Amino acid sequence: MDRNDMLAALKAVQAGDMTPEAALGLLVQAPFEDIGYAKIDHHRQLRNGNSEVIYGAGKTAQQIAGIVARMIDAGSENILITRMDGEKADFVAKSAPLFYDPLSRVGIANRVEKPLVGSVVVASGGTSDLPVCEEAALTAETMGSRVTRLYDVGVAGLHRLLSHLEDLQSARVVVAVAGMEGALASVIGGLVDCPVIAVPTSVGYGANFGGLSALLSMLNACASGISVVNIDNGFGAGYLANRINRMEGIRQ
Amino acid sequence: MDRNDMLAALKAVQAGDMTPEAALGLLVQAPFEDIGYAKIDHHRQLRNGNSEVIYGAGKTAQQIAGIVARMIDAGSENILITRMDGEKADFVAKSAPLFYDPLSRVGIANRVEKPLVGSVVVASGGTSDLPVCEEAALTAETMGSRVTRLYDVGVAGLHRLLSHLEDLQSARVVVAVAGMEGALASVIGGLVDCPVIAVPTSVGYGANFGGLSALLSMLNACASGISVVNIDNGFGAGYLANRINRMEGIRQ
Amino acid sequence: MDRNDMLAALKAVQAGDMTPEAALGLLVQAPFEDIGYAKIDHHRQLRNGNSEVIYGAGKTAQQIAGIVARMIDAGSENILITRMDGEKADFVAKSAPLFYDPLSRVGIANRVEKPLVGSVVVASGGTSDLPVCEEAALTAETMGSRVTRLYDVGVAGLHRLLSHLEDLQSARVVVAVAGMEGALASVIGGLVDCPVIAVPTSVGYGANFGGLSALLSMLNACASGISVVNIDNGFGAGYLANRINRMEGIRQ
Amino acid sequence: MDRNDMLAALKAVQAGDMTPEAALGLLVQAPFEDIGYAKIDHHRQLRNGNSEVIYGAGKTAQQIAGIVARMIDAGSENILITRMDGEKADFVAKSAPLFYDPLSRVGIANRVEKPLVGSVVVASGGTSDLPVCEEAALTAETMGSRVTRLYDVGVAGLHRLLSHLEDLQSARVVVAVAGMEGALASVIGGLVDCPVIAVPTSVGYGANFGGLSALLSMLNACASGISVVNIDNGFGAGYLANRINRMEGIRQ
Amino acid sequence: MDRNDMLAALKAVQAGDMTPEAALGLLVQAPFEDIGYAKIDHHRQLRNGNSEVIYGAGKTAQQIAGIVARMIDAGSENILITRMDGEKADFVAKSAPLFYDPLSRVGIANRVEKPLVGSVVVASGGTSDLPVCEEAALTAETMGSRVTRLYDVGVAGLHRLLSHLEDLQSARVVVAVAGMEGALASVIGGLVDCPVIAVPTSVGYGANFGGLSALLSMLNACASGISVVNIDNGFGAGYLANRINRMEGIRQ
Amino acid sequence: MDRNDMLAALKAVQAGDMTPEAALGLLVQAPFEDIGYAKIDHHRQLRNGNSEVIYGAGKTAQQIAGIVARMIDAGSENILITRMDGEKADFVAKSAPLFYDPLSRVGIANRVEKPLVGSVVVASGGTSDLPVCEEAALTAETMGSRVTRLYDVGVAGLHRLLSHLEDLQSARVVVAVAGMEGALASVIGGLVDCPVIAVPTSVGYGANFGGLSALLSMLNACASGISVVNIDNGFGAGYLANRINRMEGIRQ
Amino acid sequence: MDRNDMLAALKAVQAGDMTPEAALGLLVQAPFEDIGYAKIDHHRQLRNGNSEVIYGAGKTAQQIAGIVARMIDAGSENILITRMDGEKADFVAKSAPLFYDPLSRVGIANRVEKPLVGSVVVASGGTSDLPVCEEAALTAETMGSRVTRLYDVGVAGLHRLLSHLEDLQSARVVVAVAGMEGALASVIGGLVDCPVIAVPTSVGYGANFGGLSALLSMLNACASGISVVNIDNGFGAGYLANRINRMEGIRQ
Amino acid sequence: MDRNDMLAALKAVQAGDMTPEAALGLLVQAPFEDIGYAKIDHHRQLRNGNSEVIYGAGKTAQQIAGIVARMIDAGSENILITRMDGEKADFVAKSAPLFYDPLSRVGIANRVEKPLVGSVVVASGGTSDLPVCEEAALTAETMGSRVTRLYDVGVAGLHRLLSHLEDLQSARVVVAVAGMEGALASVIGGLVDCPVIAVPTSVGYGANFGGLSALLSMLNACASGISVVNIDNGFGAGYLANRINRMEGIRQ
């Protein structure tokens, strides 16, 4: 509810078209539906064209299916579900149309085609990072961005990365996914002029400490134009990449 | 040197306009000037309109002044110098026109006015975060972005933050600067639809551990659309904010 | 054994009603029963109306059942058992009347109704925090406090939280449960004037580091009136909330 | 601004006593005065009898003096200033009546006597913890609580602690301040039935890691009824202790 | 091989009773038997009356049984095997006489009675610490020390601990085992005059961080006379306790 | 592609033997084959005699078998596969000749004998470190180095280590593998004059923190000539040891 | 006050020689003198022959001098003051006879000769560890132990250590002081049969992390019979070493 | 003293040319001179051509000068002194010929020219890393290696690094020095076939945590052939680089 909505409500009170009590109710009423174990924000799709996203890890298959059902009833399309294991996906698929990618554990309920625009590059250093990459790529695609995947282009073999220089330099946003030492973000950051979103992954062992090495490395990247999301957070990177990719130009 | 430049050089060799040796030299020649203690990239301003930035912390006053002199000779304007203490600034100011902000320790040599466009909001929770805020704001302004400052709008007094809702919601990018528990990024992230760049600061004490608490908090922000830069890295946030702010729309 | 008891024993010795040896035995006698693998404090219920609490995680089903049996024999009611998995609960239920909540893994043996007083609010940011919330809520209720549950009111959607402002502001104590960035405690701390007990949870992933991010965030909360218990320690928060909720006014 | 204020404003609009635009202004108007480097909340004293508290560490002497002046102009008394070094205190004292305690670095501007009620015990293990203790004690006293100081009662000499058992057991709240291994909180927690606020201090060396050892120890305290504030946060403990101490009984 | 042995060998060379080559062989010959996956030190029992100890965690049942067989062949008695799970114990018991304690996972092969001397107290805070306690107690007993067990005497109920004051004060060494906040070591350290060996355990959860809280707490213990072994290292504590307990008086 | 290759290509363009477009393709063409889930570098064996190494942990059995098949087709021998569990090895062995060592989980596909040269010593402190040792030893052997294994020579029994002094002092490189306190690297570093590669292992428990204790210990080794690889990284140590072992003398 | 004292007091009450009130006062009276900023335990010297020790770091010169004065008045000799810088020592020396060692910053007030018995070895790896070594050595000597100093015997040059084997093997206790990788404790632990007290020091840099590397190394020492005190805690090691050194034999 | 020396001594005893007592003395005699605060190893130069190195940080100027004097008396040349600040250098220069480099704080006493052989490259990412680079370079040069310095070739500007590809690929060893994210080691590791010694530096701020980010990054480097020394340990890297650089070829 923004300033304009508030002013409209207040004018309705002034005009006698609304009681103060009703206006108050309106002002504090949250645009969500409470189904006991969750509060669903049905207005989100109206506002920005994307449905609310369901974080599957902490929910039972029943809860996910329940939320999906309510959202489809309310007209949502392309409902993104992250971190949902295969067993839960099987359950959800019984009651709703579901696309499911087992690698990234991403599900998309009530999927419909929509035009993809702009250019997001998702780059990664090794095959072990693919689940996180695909979470990012599918998220951005579901929200309307065109995605180019550049996988296995780690810094230990620079020629692999450099052979894709043109793809990188024509991107509007790059998502750089890397585990171990996370150097990919720095190297890409030095090659492109667009925003780079770095995603550290927990891939590695020993002094990797669950992704800490890549995280610290990326936060300390010596190239400019880089920012970082949480370890393994492909969704967050894809979501932000889509937001940046789809920015409009400055209106003069 | 991009793919087109390489092709042009190769065609010149084919046409007999250039020897292979010369082309080779070109291919491996870096576009920088080596002045012993640093290699200066004079092409940067031509490429993207911003001079190379000087990180002042690890350099002597003499080194900074030397680099500035070479860059001014090469035609650079609005040369940004970060983390330069007052004493060094005094020294540099002897040999070059210098704007200096003691709060953020930012210097701008050979400063010239240029039009500011778009809308970057820099928001912070407390007065102690101001040096980092100003580093971000001055960086973005120097690079051409219009900046709105919202200081002292911490989450412990939500009404302060909410009274600036309109500023926040009309921004193209928000830089959220906060120390202590870093909750500002999450709260702002839930209020806006534009990209949010979170800057943890080392402000605080005890279990703050030099900014670690705010850093972890921001990396774990439950709102979407947030990414994080290094602790106290106002420059990085301002640089990236400008890059995002000045994005053009997608060409169809 | 307090100062008065000591004085009474000493006077009995003086009066010849007790031998010095008996008094000594009394002075060092602990008010507990030793059943080999545990020492049970039967006096606790007499003292403050609550039975000793059984921490189920480190005990076998047999040990829990044994302790419960002795306590029921000694007249205990509403015996709280925390961190008891379902299998152990099934075993205990064979030999004692047991209420069991599988979500929070809390059991209450020999449960009896008692009046609930005052007002404790348990608030949480996401559905994944519910097990910890319920551990807190059931603990406080078992000990006699009236509890209001406000779940899924995370800071990424402030309107959800603000729509419950009245509940929050009429509470005598608030228990704020949150994982990830733990900002909920700070935001609630800025909205209420009563004590806030913050419970970080291990919900999250990556740089969450098992709850460390929320823990540090809450310890650094910029609002006043907040204190913190251990990660996932719903019991501790509920116990302390009950203690504060049931405080009497200052006697003049 | 609470629900009642909102309703009153809306009724005034309905009654034609206020324009919608004015009401809107009211709704979003924060009850603070903006003096450039800070926004002062003058309503706080009206609401709960305590002035806003000034955190002195991140502010210049000039800024502190400026805020104090505005607050005194607005009628504030007993203005608490924490973490203010002696030099700043000397400066502030030039323009405002100031009580200053160099040990705890606490200042109280425009101090007036007020009746102290209830019973807060501040206990500490060693003389090195005194600055933190006094910050807690002076904070609680400034806000109206009667404070008993039990210093140098560390667990390495239990008899010292036990000789004050009566003080401890008659307290409404205990603030347990300890560095090094922080065991004091656990031991006191086992001796009293009132809420215990544990304050870890950075006193110690080596594997103390700036207070981490005491912090972790207190978070893991095996006694119930204990919660923890940030390392060295005497103010936070005193503030919360006062809030709990002054609680009224439950109205039936 | 000590200085005397070296001198004896050299004299034998001088006397012509031994060739230089044989002496050299002797000097560098290690007193162990190499059985491929391990080198067994058969001289140890001769030297100090205790067989070499077998750390079972990193070895297969076959390897343990093989080492035990060789040691028994070489005349070893009371062969201590630590961290051996039940399955391995069953295997070992097929080929050698084995006492096995499933709680502490300690095995003793070829066990024979021997007189127990002196006084070692093993004290612990909670029933969850028992496996570590028993590892310590069985180790000390196997090596000849008389052990008194004081379990469930945590600091949250001081009276339990104080009721055993006489046992504690008559000990020659105390092993203080505690998880969570590890305060037991400090409190005992303040009550006794003998050496205290503190064993942090990994019992607990949340900010316990696998025993780190108890470890740091014990290293920072404010009482004197305390030293610490690794987390959960009951064996190390029992071994050292026996060594200290059995010290002879100073020969004048 | 080195400088000479670049010059050759450019001269071919000048001579009209190659079009600029073809040269460009050559310049950016990476010497790898892309098989979807991986990019295989077939030139590596030509360049330095060793095939590319397959890191088995993050790949499915099908992926490993696929890569092996392509490499054998391309003529690779002695293809090293690390961190491959037994089940995957069984699968791979169905379609390619495979040597497999279950202890170190190292596989060598298309193994052929080749002469072993020089002298690498792999030394370890305990039997639990053997898997890491064998990963190092097999790696170095597969790449052509002669390896001497010195196992179970930990510093707690110096005579075991000293009895192998001659082996150590005649080595060209020593790989020192140790968990727990990692002192082996320091002690060996003080006994030899050749490079020492230290490998910390995660063997141990408690304050070992997954190998951190040995890692920090080795990084802080007081002897000179020591460098460290990642925790449990036997492969990296063996690879580097082979590289150093096989160095040629300086050409005058 | 031990069990016997308690019984004596109770018998006096029974005999009418003491009122119950007086007995109570006795029972709770702590044997210390309260001088405001500290509570001094004058009975300690009577009990075990050593005065209370003054930790100088957290006290002012005035406070130290005050405590010393009271203790001398009460008859204390050989009053140990640790962590006292030279300036404070100068102040204290004005009012009391003081021996002061600037290297270890140890002071001994009212020093008197007393016979030294037994054998404590203090061994260290490098000259930088000397301050901690001397703190340990002076502490043990002040309390009556004969101390042998073996400095600069680090493991990087084993021959230095081995040349003192006889000293080590004839010790009753060894204090092993080492920074950096802390291997000295393990190596000594493998050479001797007496208790070894390991003292990690903060000497070093980089991944030493203020002594953490040596601390973890020593806690993980693979030799048996080793325990650890806090980083740089020479006093604690010397105190405990004296306690162990002066143990009497077991009375049959 | 090696096996041959031992045999020679034993034969002398056999031949009656030496008493057993003298031989024993020889066997345990360390080849060092004890000057009270240090034990100097004069045999080192004889053995491997390099004098013992003096770590200046933990020593007084007097101690350094004393050690240097003894070493010069004993014939040492090119005595390397690391971590010696300018003031100490001035003192030492009074009594011995001293070369001193203030940037790296390296001193070389009694410096003489000697031929430099082979090829060590020292590469770094930024000008702030120069002190560590020069410590490495001067160390390697002092010990006889020819060194090429490649400074300011960080990965954020790959063209700078690639323009030196020929230098890198012709090196026998590369020392890669980098702070911040430490990616330089990985990138260089992918470009060269010789051993790479990575030196993390503490250059950076925020989540750099004193060099931890670069350290972890380098330990996790995805390229092979890389090993790591301690943070800021330029000396260790230079020492090891010299050792590897000067390796002889394998004798057939």
Predicted pLDDT at H122: 97
pLDDT band at H248 (very low <50, low <70, confident <90, very high): very high
Residue matched to tokens 């949340």: E206
Question: Average pLDDT over chain B, rounded to whole?
Answer: 85
Q: Are E10 and H13 in contact (CB under 8 A)?
A: yes
Global pTM?
Answer: 0.86
Residues E216, D221: C-beta atoms closer than 8 Å: no
Q: Are C130 and C124 in contact (CB under 8 A)?
A: yes
Helix, strand counts (H, E) of chain D: 11, 11
Report d(CA H155, CA H161) in Å as an integer.
7
Q: Nearest CB to E37: which of F127, F159, F203?
A: F127
Q: Interface partners of F (3+ CB pairs, < 8 Å)?
A: A, B, E, G, H
Q: Which residues of G touch H56 (CB under 8 A)?
A: none
DSSP chain F: --HHHHHHHHHHHHTTSS-HHHHHHHHH--S-EE-SS-EE-THHHHHHS-PPPEE-TTS-HHHHHHHHHHHHHTT--SEEEES--HHHHHHHHTTS-EEEETTTTEEEET------EEEEEEEESSGGGHHHHHHHHHHHHHTTEEEEEE-S--GGGHHHHHTTHHHHHT-SEEEEEE-TT-HHHHHHHTT-SS-EEEEE---S-GGGGGGHHHHHHHHT-SSSSEEE--TT-HHHHHHHHHHHHTPPPPP-
Does residue E116 carry a pLDDT above 90? Answer: yes
Residue A53: which of A107, A90, A3, A11 has the closest Cα? A107
Does residue B17 carry a pLDDT above 80? Answer: no
Nearest Cα of chain C lies from the Cα of G26 at a distance, in angstroms, of: 12
The CA R_g of chain E, rounded to the nearest whole Å, is 21
Task: Locate all alpha helices (DSSP H) within chain H, ordered by sequence.
Answer: 3-14, 20-28, 43-48, 61-73, 86-95, 130-142, 158-162, 165-169, 183-189, 212-219, 234-245
Q: Are F55 and A204 in contact (CB under 8 A)?
A: no
Q: Nearest CB to B230: which of A193, A220, A247?
A: A220
Report d(CA A157, CA A165) in Å as an integer.
14
Q: Which residues of G touch F188 (CB under 8 A)?
A: none
pLDDT digits (tens, 9 = 90+) for H140-191: 999 999 999 998 788 877 777 887 888 998 999 999 999 988 889 999 998 8
Residue C50: which of C244, C247, C242, C248 has the closest Cα? C242
Report d(CA A71, CA A69) in Å as an integer.
5
pLDDT band at F236 (very low <50, low <70, confident <90, very high): very high
Percent of chain F with pLDDT over 70: 83
Does residue H17 carry a pLDDT above 70? Answer: yes
Nearest Cα of chain B lies from the Cα of A106 at a distance, in angstroms, of: 17
Question: Average pLDDT over chain G, rounded to whole?
Answer: 85
In the predicted model, what is the mean pLDDT of residues H206-212?
87
In the predicted model, what is the mean pLDDT of residues F30-48?
52
Residues 6+ apart with CB under 8 A from A199: A132, A136, A175, A176, A177, A178, A228, A229, A231, A232, A233, A234, A236, A237
Token reading at C207: 């740089």
pLDDT band at A53 (very low <50, low <70, confident <90, very high): confident
Q: Interface partners of B (3+ CB pairs, < 8 Å)?
A: A, C, D, F, H
Nearest Cα of chain F lies from the Cα of E231 at a distance, in angstroms, of: 5
pLDDT band at G139 (very low <50, low <70, confident <90, very high): very high
pLDDT band at A104 (very low <50, low <70, confident <90, very high): very high
Predicted pLDDT at A58: 74
Residues B247, A243: C-beta atoms closer than 8 Å: no
Residue matched to tokens 């065109």: A146
- Interchain contact B/G (3 or more Cβ pairs less than 8 Å): no
In the predicted model, what is the mean pLDDT of residues A114-129?
91
* pLDDT top residue among C103 and D51: C103
- Interchain contact G/E (3 or more Cβ pairs less than 8 Å): yes
Q: Nearest CB to E227: which of G118, G197, G248?
A: G197
Does residue D189 carry a pLDDT above 50? Answer: yes
* Interface ipTM: 0.85
Token reading at H214: 């670069």
Nearest Cα of chain G lies from the Cα of H233 at a distance, in angstroms, of: 8
Residues 6+ apart with CB under 8 A from G219: E215, E228, E229, E230, E231, F181, F206, F207, F213, G228
3-state secondary structure (DSSP) of residue C224:
coil
Q: How far apart are the first and last CA of chain E?
A: 27
Predicted pLDDT at D206: 85
DSSP secondary structure letter of residue C222: S
Q: Which residues of A touch D (CB under 8 A)?
A: 3, 6-7, 10-11, 13-14, 16, 19-21, 23-24, 27-28
Q: Nearest CB to F190: which of G157, G213, G218?
A: G157
In the predicted model, what is the mean pLDDT of residues A11-39?
61
Residue matched to tokens 């007091």: G9
Q: Which residues of G touch C11 (CB under 8 A)?
A: 20
Q: Which residues of E touch D (CB under 8 A)?
A: 125-126, 154-158, 179-183, 185-187, 189-191, 204, 206-209, 212-214, 216-224
Predicted pLDDT at C94: 97
- Interchain contact A/G (3 or more Cβ pairs less than 8 Å): no
- Interchain contact D/F (3 or more Cβ pairs less than 8 Å): no
For residue F210, give the chain E residue with the closest CA.
E210
In the predicted model, what is the mean pLDDT of residues F46-60?
72
Percent helix, strand and coil across chain E, each to the nearest 5: 45, 20, 35
Q: Are F110 and F97 in contact (CB under 8 A)?
A: yes
In the predicted model, what is the mean pLDDT of residues E76-96?
95
Query: H interface mutation test: which of G162, G168, G205 has the most H CBs within 10 A?
Result: G205
Q: Which residues of E touch H14 (CB under 8 A)?
A: 13-14, 16, 19-20
pLDDT digits (tens, 9 = 90+) for C115-148: 999 999 999 987 789 999 999 999 999 999 999 9
Residue matched to tokens 């909410």: B162
Residue G122 β-bridge partners: G149, G175
Lowest mean pLDDT among A11-25, C74-88, G80-94: A11-25
Residues D165, C2: C-beta atoms closer than 8 Å: yes
Does residue F123 carry a pLDDT above 90? Answer: yes
3-state secondary structure (DSSP) of residue D176:
strand
Report d(CA D172, CA F243) in Å as an integer.
71
CA distances from F53 to A129, A205, F44, F146 (A): 18, 17, 10, 19
CA distances from D25 to A206, B152, D6, D31, G153 (A): 58, 20, 12, 12, 77
Predicted pLDDT at A41: 57
Residues B206, D39: C-beta atoms closer than 8 Å: no
Q: Which residues of H touch F210 (CB under 8 A)?
A: none
Nearest Cα of chain C lies from the Cα of E104 at a distance, in angstroms, of: 14
Report d(CA C40, CA C34) in Å as an integer.
6
Lowest mean pLDDT among A205-209, B185-189, C246-250, G50-54: G50-54
3-state secondary structure (DSSP) of residue H126:
coil
Lowest mean pLDDT among C77-91, D30-44, D50-64, F110-124: D30-44
Residues C212, B209: C-beta atoms closer than 8 Å: no
Report d(CA E240, CA E235) in Å as an integer.
9
Q: Which residues of D touch E224 (CB under 8 A)?
A: 156
For residue F224, give the chain G residue with the closest CA.
G156
Report d(CA A156, CA A159) in Å as an integer.
9
Report d(CA H56, CA H83) in Å as an integer.
5
In the predicted model, what is the mean pLDDT of residues C94-116?
95
Report d(CA E206, CA A18) in Å as an integer.
52
Lowest mean pLDDT among E24-28, E215-219, F108-112: E24-28
In the predicted model, what is the mean pLDDT of residues A110-130?
91
* pLDDT top residue among G29 and F241: F241
Q: Are A195 and A227 in contact (CB under 8 A)?
A: yes
Long-range contacts of residues H3-10, Cβ cutoff 8 Å, at least 24 apart: H3/E24, H3/E28, H3/F165, H3/F166, H6/E24, H6/E27, H7/E20, H7/E21, H7/E24, H10/E10, H10/E13, H10/E20, H10/E23, H10/E24
Residue matched to tokens 């329940």: A66
CB atoms near residue A30 (< 10 Å): 19
Q: Interface partners of H (3+ CB pairs, < 8 Å)?
A: A, B, E, F, G
pLDDT digits (tens, 9 = 90+) for D61-117: 998 999 999 999 988 899 999 999 999 999 999 999 999 999 999 999 999 988 999
Residue E208: which of C183, C210, D199, F181 has the closest Cα? C210
Q: Determine the Cα angle at E138 with ends E135 and E141, to 5°.
A: 145
Q: Interface partners of E (3+ CB pairs, < 8 Å)?
A: C, D, F, G, H
Token reading at B37: 């203690």
- Exposure on the CB side of residue C226, measured as CA atoms within 13 A: 31
Percent of chain B with pLDDT over 90: 53
Nearest Cα of chain C lies from the Cα of D195 at a distance, in angstroms, of: 7
Predicted pLDDT at E25: 57
Report d(CA F27, CA F43) in Å as an integer.
15
pLDDT band at D174 (very low <50, low <70, confident <90, very high): very high
Report d(CA H187, CA H197) in Å as an integer.
13
Token reading at G81: 């003051």
Token reading at D196: 């215990």
* pLDDT top residue among B169 and G22: B169
- Maximum average pLDDT range among E39-43, H8-12, H46-50: H8-12
Predicted pLDDT at B30: 39
Q: Are H161 and H185 in contact (CB under 8 A)?
A: no
The CA R_g of chain G, rounded to the nearest whole Å, is 21
In the predicted model, what is the mean pLDDT of residues G47-63?
77
Does residue D29 carry a pLDDT above 50? Answer: no
3-state secondary structure (DSSP) of residue C80:
strand
pLDDT band at E59 (very low <50, low <70, confident <90, very high): confident
Predicted pLDDT at D34: 58
pLDDT band at H87 (very low <50, low <70, confident <90, very high): very high
Residue B82 β-bridge partners: B55
3-state secondary structure (DSSP) of residue G89:
helix
* pLDDT top residue among F87 and C38: F87
CA distances from A197 to A82, A167, B245, F251 (A): 19, 16, 15, 47
Q: Nearest CB to B243: which of A166, A215, A225?
A: A225
Does residue B2 carry a pLDDT above 50? Answer: no
**Residue E247: what residue type?**
M
Q: Which residues of A touch C208 (CB under 8 A)?
A: 230
Report d(CA A230, CA A219) in Å as an integer.
11
Q: Which residues of H touch E (CB under 8 A)?
A: 3, 6-7, 10-11, 13-14, 16, 19-21, 23-24, 27-28
- Interchain contact B/D (3 or more Cβ pairs less than 8 Å): yes
Residue A122 β-bridge partners: A149, A175
Q: Which residues of F touch H (CB under 8 A)?
A: 2-3, 47-48, 53, 117-118, 165-166, 169, 172, 193-195, 197, 215, 219-220, 224-231, 235-237, 239-240, 243-250
Q: Which residues of B touch F20 (CB under 8 A)?
A: 7, 10-11, 13-14
Predicted pLDDT at D42: 53
Token reading at C32: 């507990």
- Interchain contact B/C (3 or more Cβ pairs less than 8 Å): yes
Q: Any idea of the CA torsion for B234, B237, B240, B242, to the nearest 10 degrees? A: -70
In the predicted model, what is the mean pLDDT of residues B178-186?
89
Does residue D164 carry a pLDDT above 70? Answer: yes
Token reading at A57: 């890890």
Q: Which residues of E touch D224 (CB under 8 A)?
A: 156
Residues 6+ apart with CB under 8 A from G64: G54, G56, G81, G84, G88, G91, G92
Q: Which residues of E touch G215 (CB under 8 A)?
A: 219
